[in-house]
Amino acid sequence: MNYNTIIIGGGVAGLTAGMYLARANLPCLILEGKFWGGQTALLNKVSNYPAIMDATGFDIAQNFYNQVKQFNIEMKTELVISVKQVGNTYEVLTNKGKYLANNIIVATGAKTTVLGLQEEKRYVGKGVSYCATCDGNFFKNQPVAVYGFGKTALEDIKYLHNLASEVYWLVPNKALPAKVLQEIKNLNNLKIKYSCEVLNLIGDNTLQQIVLYNAQDKQTEKLDVAGLFVSLGRQPDLSWLEVDIKTNKNGYVIVDKNCQTSHKGMFACGDITSRELKQIVTACSDGAVASSYIIAKR
């Protein structure tokens, strides 16, 4: 079957796009290779989504899924292997079939870089977070730590210093650039520890301590914190895409005001895009913008 639009990714961006297209009676298909709801479904608690107070990410994702299903839209749990252009259409090959579409919406998000510790998953949502703007508010007037080096870590530090009692910046490297030090020189509650590696996480029901190894003095220490923000960045994956589209130096897709990529008929929404702010609400916005443009040009 030839669809008007195939949406790749069943997170909140893809589901929002599908809902708009279905309401406009445009034949569309949503393909999701893992689980519906994307990264939102993994959040322990969400407090910054408008009109919904302190819900779990799973509940929000489930509500999204159920809302879209009521429009009888096609939704298939299939892993996309490749997308290529064939004439004026796009051919999407999955592990179960082959589909054609006039438009493609890429909403596959980005993979969070984790510490890789055995006990890490145990503390996700219970002290370990990968998003300061999502979860920082839960640690008001409590000590927290940020582990990372680049721009993501710096932005998290600047955000958290207004909320936490103390912020420890655990830097894997031996030094920070002078420009970065200048930006953080007035953050009085910030303490920097260089050449750090997180060895272990300790706590009962929630995180209470981090075990660190300092490569410079070859010593371990325990740090009392309520929260650990892993700020090692996220990585998009477009290895399956056989269409040449413009991305920034980090591999995120560059889009215009309509969420259209450099390739006509191909759109990108949510965390896969190069937009700075990556939140549930902005992902939903992208899905609405892209689908509304597709509807207008049918």
CATH number of the domain encompassing residue 226: 3.50.50.60
| Same domain, yes or no: 66 and 12 | yes
| Same domain, yes or no: 129 and 178 | yes
| Same domain, yes or no: 87 and 131 | no
3: Cβ contacts below 8 Å, ≥ 6 apart: 27, 28, 29, 99, 100, 101, 102
Residues of the domain holding 197:
113-230
Q: What are 65's two structure tokens?
A: 């899924």
| Same domain, yes or no: 256 and 292 | yes
Averaged pLDDT score across all residues of the chain: 93
Rounded Cα distance between 148 and 232, Å, is: 5
What local confidence, expressed as pLDDT, does residue 217 receive? 86
What local confidence, expressed as pLDDT, does residue 85 receive? 95
Report the share of the chain in percent with pLDDT over 70: 99
| Same domain, yes or no: 208 and 244 | no
Query: Is residue 29 scored above 90 in pLDDT?
Result: yes
State pLDDT tens for residues 237-252: 899 999 999 999 989 9
Give the closest residue to 234 by CA, choosing from 118, 134, 142: 134
Pairing relationship of beta strands 207-214 and 196-203 according to DSSP bridges: antiparallel
Domain count along the chain: 2
Report the share of the chain in percent with pLDDT over 90: 74
Where is average pLDDT lowest: 44-53, 75-84, 86-95, 99-108? 44-53
Boundary-marking domain end, from 191, 209, 230: 230
What local confidence, expressed as pLDDT, does residue 199 receive? 96
Cβ proximity of 10 and 19 under 8 Å: no
Query: Is residue 171 scored above 90 in pLDDT?
Result: yes
| Same domain, yes or no: 78 and 127 | no
Q: How far apart are the first and last CA of the chain?
A: 18
Q: What are 120's two structure tokens?
A: 């890490």
| Same domain, yes or no: 195 and 119 | yes
